Amino acid sequence: MKVRVEKLAFAYEDFRLEVGELIFPDARVTSVVGPNGAGKSTFLKCLASVLPAPPRTIFVDGRDLAALRGRERARLVAYVPQEASFTFNYAVLDFILTGRAAFLPTFGAPTSLDVALAEEALCYVGLDGQLRRSFFELSSGERRLVLIARALAQGSDVLLLDEPTSFLDPRHEVETMALCRRLADEKGKTIIVTLHNLEMAVRYSDGMVFMKNGRVVASGPPRQTLSEPLLRSVYDMEMRIVECAGWVFFAK
């Protein structure tokens, strides 16, 4: 499903987010990049309705997100936070099952169908067999995958991932981004990720959005949008774009 943003203006504490017109294409991976404090997370949270965006600014599949009830909205958009809150040591299966909340009534409990969907999601991210392990026992990479599995079990077409590669080692970084790629290509999901790692962004995204100071500075396919002057203005530092063996590197 296509995600369209139109004249989103959102003030949050001392910060002001302003996005004019932006389109996240269907079944594509779009990464949102920018320096710290650019507003990437804030933007994502608005898309996820974690922060209350004004009405008629965010449209998913043509429908105004703010006008939808929570249940319907969650069936369209899933949010993968950077860190899961893990006060209680749930089993992996139970954790993923919470993703089914949008499909269950207030007094309801998961059925065997929900369990099957949860198992399927876990298999897809490559953690089959880990159902009964407890959340605390997992490594941070595995936890990240479980969070994505939950979003998958949620059945939404739009997945928002906040810094999914942070604190991961290179191998897990690549695995996570490869998973995002597969979700878009194989399952047709619309993936929007915020990233710090420009190399990963260029390698795995179909489109990139550059943000700075709460505004979108540039957007479009990576190779067409990238330029050294752009990088200099966004990151306030000199960077050189180097291409080598099919990868694009940024020498600082």
Partner 1 sequence: MTGSASKTRAWLTWAALALPVVLLVLSLNLGSYPIPLKAVWTTLTHAPATGPGAAPTPYADILFRVRLPRLLLALFAGAALAVSGASLQALFQNPLVFEFSLGISYGAAFGAALSLVFLGRAFPPQLAAFAMAVLAVLLVVLIAGRSASGIVPVLLSGIIVSALFQALLSLVEFVANPYALQALIFWLMGSLSQAAWGDLAVTLPVIGLGVLILILLRWRMNVLSLGDDEARALGVNVRREKALVIAVATLVTAAATSVTGVINWVGLIVPHLVRMAVGADNRKVLPLSAAFGASLLIVADDIARSAASFEIPIGILTSVVGIPFFIVLLKRSGRVWR
- Region binding partner 1 by CB under 8 A among candidate stretches 15-23, 44-52, 188-196, 229-237: 44-52
Q: Which is nearer to partner 1, 160 or 179 (CB)?
A: 160
- DSSP lists the bridge partners of residue 12 as 15
Q: How far is CA 164 from the centre of its chain?
A: 7
Binder among 102, 115, 218, 248 for partner 1 (CB under 8 A): 102
Both structure tokens of 170: 């290179």
Torsion sign across C-alpha atoms 58, 73, 92, 191: negative
Q: How far apart are CA 48 and CA 81, in angstroms?
A: 10
Using CB under 8 A as the binding rule, whether residue 74 contacts partner 1 is answered as: yes
Which one, of 148, 146, 155, lies nearest residue 92 by Cα? 146
Both structure tokens of 102: 């949008």
Across the chain, which distance is largest between two alpha carbons, in Å?
Answer: 57
CB of residue 55 to partner 1, shortest distance in Å: 17
Q: Are 40 and 33 in contact (CB under 8 A)?
A: yes
- Region binding partner 1 by CB under 8 A among candidate stretches 9-17, 29-37, 95-103, 226-234: 95-103
Binder among 7, 55, 56, 71 for partner 1 (CB under 8 A): 71
Using CB under 8 A as the binding rule, whether residue 6 contacts partner 1 is answered as: no
Using CB under 8 A as the binding rule, whether residue 82 contacts partner 1 is answered as: no
Q: What is the DSSP letter of 15?
A: E
- DSSP lists the bridge partners of residue 15 as 12
Binder among 66, 91, 123, 239 for partner 1 (CB under 8 A): 91
Site for partner 1 in 130-159 (CB under 8 A): 132, 134, 136, 154
- DSSP lists the bridge partners of residue 30 as 192, 207
Using CB under 8 A as the binding rule, whether residue 48 contacts partner 1 is answered as: yes
CB of residue 41 to partner 1, shortest distance in Å: 11
Residue 29's contacts (CB-CB under 8 Å, 6 or more residues apart) are 180, 181, 184, 191, 193, 204, 205, 206, 207
Q: Which is nearer to partner 1, 150 or 172 (CB)?
A: 150
Binder among 94, 119, 199, 206 for partner 1 (CB under 8 A): 94
- Region binding partner 1 by CB under 8 A among candidate stretches 15-23, 90-98, 175-183, 205-213: 90-98
Which one, of 184, 187, 239, 183, lies nearest residue 210 by Cα? 239
Q: Which is nearer to partner 1, 53 or 208 (CB)?
A: 53
Residues that bind partner 1 (CB under 8 A): 45, 48-50, 69-75, 77-79, 81, 84-91, 94, 97-99, 101-102, 104, 106-110, 132, 134, 136, 154
